[in-house]
């Protein structure tokens, strides 16, 4: 079996940027996401632009609406060390 080589990180992404990227990949506007998660559109804009911290409860709501684990949003640059 071939040994896997992890991809190199090319760009640092903030939690707000990860929300925006995932939202846009799913073809959602901020308004549509606001309806799905119950967070005001203005707050989503502030999160995406780094003016407001994401926070655990917001990450849970956004993760559910975006169908991704909240940790993907909170820790976008997290890398696991390989056990082998």
Domain architecture of the chain: domains with CATH:
15-74 (1.10.260.40)
Q: What is the C-alpha to C-alpha distance for residues 57 and 52, in angstroms, rounded to an integer?
A: 13
- Tally the residues of the chain: 84
- pLDDT score of 7: 65
Per-residue pLDDT of the chain (84 residues; tens, 9 = 90+): 578 777 676 778 899 999 999 999 999 999 999 999 999 999 999 999 999 999 999 999 999 999 999 999 998 777 656 555
Sign for the pseudo-dihedral over CA of 63, 66, 68, 74: negative
pTM greater than 0.85 (yes/no):
no
């Amino acid at each position: 079996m071939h040994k896997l080589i992890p991809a190199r990180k090319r760009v640092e992404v903030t939690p707000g940027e990860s929300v925006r990227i995932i939202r846009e990949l799913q073809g959602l506007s901020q308004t549509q996401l606001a309806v799905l998660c119950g967070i005001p559109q203005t707050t989503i804009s502030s999160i995406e632009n780094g003016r407001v911290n994401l926070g655990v409860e917001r990450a849970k709501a956004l993760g559910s609406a975006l169908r991704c684990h909240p940790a993907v949003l909170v820790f976008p640059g997290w890398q696991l060390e390989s056990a082998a």
